[in-house]
């Protein structure tokens, strides 16, 4: 089984809360410089995380439908994303997967790769494999 999450991560000198609220059409979390992160550290830059999709491969949610949703969300946010000052803000498309089997992975269809590129985003990938240590 695997669980896949796709989202955006922006860090740096982010625009005002009002601009973010008007520009982001998805669930997001914003932590401002000087606030504490999830582990209690005080962060030294603004961090915005935007969830675009999340699914498990054993559920009845089609990955094609999820990918299409991500492409649509990226396309709608593209003007805002490309307008950001990349010298002040790091922008990345983030893919995270948790796997409970040791083989496999995920693929990024060309339509999604094109949308990521068109929005001026870098790509970050996190793969965590959790295996049962019991040999049987």
Could you report the per-residue pLDDT of 1-59, keeping only the tens digit for each?
567 889 999 999 999 999 998 888 788 999 999 999 888 899 999 999 999 988 776 56
Contact (Cβ atoms closer than 8 angstroms) between residue 91 and residue 43: no
Contact (Cβ atoms closer than 8 angstroms) between residue 31 and residue 50: no
What average pLDDT does the structure give for the chain? 86
Q: Tell me how many degrees the CA angle 66-25-54 measures, rounded to the nearest 5.
A: 30
| pLDDT at residue 78 in the model | 94
Could you report the per-residue pLDDT of 58-109, keeping only the tens digit for each?
565 667 788 898 999 999 999 999 999 999 999 999 998 877 666 666 788 9
Between CA 41 and CA 124 the distance in angstroms is: 22
């Amino acid at each position: 089984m695997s669980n896949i999450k796709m989202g955006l991560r922006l860090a740096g000198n982010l625009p005002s809360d009002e601009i973010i609220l008007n520009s982001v059409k998805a669930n997001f979390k914003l932590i401002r410089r000087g606030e504490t992160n999830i582990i209690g550290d005080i962060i030294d830059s603004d961090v915005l995380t935007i969830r675009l999709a999340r699914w498990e491969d054993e559920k009845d949610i089609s990955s094609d439908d999820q990918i299409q949703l991500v492409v649509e969300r990226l396309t709608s946010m593209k003007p805002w994303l490309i307008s950001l000052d990349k010298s002040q803000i790091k922008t990345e498309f983030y893919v995270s997967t948790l796997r409970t089997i040791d083989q496999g992975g995920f693929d990024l269809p060309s339509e999604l790769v094109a949308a990521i590129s068109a929005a001026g985003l870098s790509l970050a990938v996190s793969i965590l494999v959790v295996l049962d240590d019991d040999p049987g």
